[in-house]
Chains A and B, each alone.
Chain A
Amino acid sequence: MVYVSRVGMVKIGRHYEKSPRDLAFEAVREALADADIDSIDYLVVASSLTYMQSPQLDLAAYIASSLGLPVKSALAVEAGENSGLAAIEVAVNLIRSHAAEKVLVVGVDKLTDYPSGPTYEMLEALYDTESDAIYRIGHAAPLAMLMRIYMEKYGVDRNTLAYWPAMMHAHAKENPYAMLRFAIKPEKVATAMPIADPITLLDAYPLGDGAAAVLLTSEDQVGDHLARIKEVAGAVGMPSIALREDPLMLEHVAKLSNELNLSEEKVDIIELHDNFTIMGLLLLESLGLAPRGKAAELVATGYFDVDGEGPLVNASGGLKARGHPIGATGVYMVAEVALQLAGKFPGVKRPGAEKGLAVGINAHGSSTRIVVMESV
């Protein structure tokens, strides 16, 4: 069995004065502050943009040597926006295969080292650079096109979709680690600055820097644990929305959800990948947690909110308002779900939560990973 023993997070924001290594250091220090740990078997680093920006290769080793803590071995994992959960998957499997007992996962990325234009160009590489991203699609165009199809196909109006970001901001307001800690009104979303229409600034994740750390252990090494990891599973999707049978259905997510029986078991807490409003909704529908074409309405009527009948979705504020430091985000998700299951999340929470999910994808869904967690 693999346990989440400790977690640490840096408040996402514009940390101009800090390097990826500085941010990683802070997250790890917070995670291990009260842990009786004198060494780490393995450090697994999740990062994505760092390789295009700094640039720095063998990143994990350089982070390992700057932590002030003996680390036996280190490697880095890159899977675009899905890097964080990919690193968790690798770490869990290192423990399950008895290659390590104490594995530290650190996710880190910076989105403010360059002006937004060059950053959008780097983010364009999350899409297929040999097909769709030959063109200047930026970071949002494929999802903007999905949003238009969704509104047209299901007859959902723009303002109904605005309840997603409103809920995310309401949650982030209570989360001390979130980047955008203020409420927004749903009626302001449609008329905000356009990013790629119909996506506006208030549908899109902010460009922020962050790092999160999670200590995974095999047994009762540290004493008390926050949560248990029951399953980690990944799947690969179509390389373009153009190749999907139905552009609005992430088939590989639906398949994974079926394999994990997610729609049949009671889930209390979910942190999922809402890089843009539409993706939060499409993931709920692809996971089988909302009927096709109905997720927006369920969100608008509070079904996924703290007092709703459904699972509490993105109590952190989600990518939209907690923030989305690309490769680090999945590690934030696992840290947040673990804190929820332990009743220690410092924000909107669901007391007594027993089962939680972290659901990540890259871009339009080139890959996905789902982590199933339980309270201990």
Chain B
Amino acid sequence: MVLARWWRTRIPRYRLIGAQCKSCGRAHYPPRKACPYCGSTELEQVMLPRRGILESYTVVQSIPGDTRFQAPIIVGLVRLENGVRLVAELTDVQPEELKLGLEVEATMRRIREDGDNGTIMYGLKFRPVLGKS
């Protein structure tokens, strides 16, 4: 049932493409049809920087869905180098290594599976920049 939605959102999920507003100059992610800040529809798609810092994080123990994905799932609020913020899963990091301000970078990973025989959804997660954790 979710296949069509996964497919439609694939490009910004794979490539970290955001939208920059030509009117107010602010960028956001994922790209929307109208600027969430000023409402302008004059937007252009831009590649966002792949690095940023962790402004907040949480280790999720109350796992949504069935049990095939094991706890914990780590979710972060990432501020990219150009100031754009996004919520994303973190990977390649242990809960005890997490700290505010941690430098992270985008990497392609498996995000969800639609049952045992269904589609696998990929997308960008964030991991600590090597040597910075």
Contacts and interface: CB of A to CB of B under 8 A. Distances in A.
A and B associate: yes
Interface of A: 116-118, 120-121, 123-124, 129-132, 134-142, 144-146, 148-149, 152, 193-199, 238-243, 247
B89 interface: yes
**At the interface, is chain B mostly helix, strand, loop or mixed?**
strand
Given A193-B61, A196-B59, A239-B36, 12 more contacts: A134-B9, A134-B13, A135-B87, A136-B75, A138-B63, A145-B57, A146-B56, A149-B55, A149-B56, A152-B100, A195-B62, A196-B62
B87 A117 contact: no
B22 interface: no
Given A130-B9, A135-B89, A117 B65 contact: yes
Contacts of A239: 36
B64 interface: yes
B9 A136 contact: no
A58 B122 CA distance: 36
A136 B56 contact: no
A248 to B, nearest CB: 11
Interface residues of B, number: 36
Contacts of B65: 117-118, 120-121, 136
A141 B63 CA distance: 10
Nearest to B65: A121
Nearest to B123: A134
Nearest to B125: A135
Contact of B61 (A124, A130, A135, A196): A196
Contact of B60 (A130, A132, A137): A137
Interface string B82-112: 0001111100000000001000000000011
B132 interface: no
Contacts of A121: 64-65
Nearest to A194: B61
Contacts of B88: 135
B87 A240 contact: yes
A195 B125 CA distance: 21
B87 A124 contact: no
A137 B61 contact: no
A6 B87 CA distance: 43
Interface of B: 5, 9, 13, 28-30, 36-37, 55-67, 69, 73, 75-77, 85-89, 100, 111-112, 123, 125
A148 B37 CA distance: 25
Given A118-B66, A242-B86, A135 B58 contact: no
B64 A194 contact: no
A242 B52 CA distance: 13
Contacts of B62: 116, 120, 138-140, 195-196
Contacts of B75: 135-137, 141-142, 144-145, 196
Nearest to A364: B87
A130 B65 CA distance: 18
- The 9 A-B pairs with the shortest beta carbon distances in the complex, nearest first, are A144-B58, A145-B56, A121-B64, A242-B85, A120-B64, A132-B87, A141-B75, A138-B64, A196-B60
Given A117-B64, A239-B36, A243-B36, A199 B58 contact: yes
B111 to A, nearest CB: 6
Contacts of B30: 130-131
Contacts of A243: 28, 36-37, 85
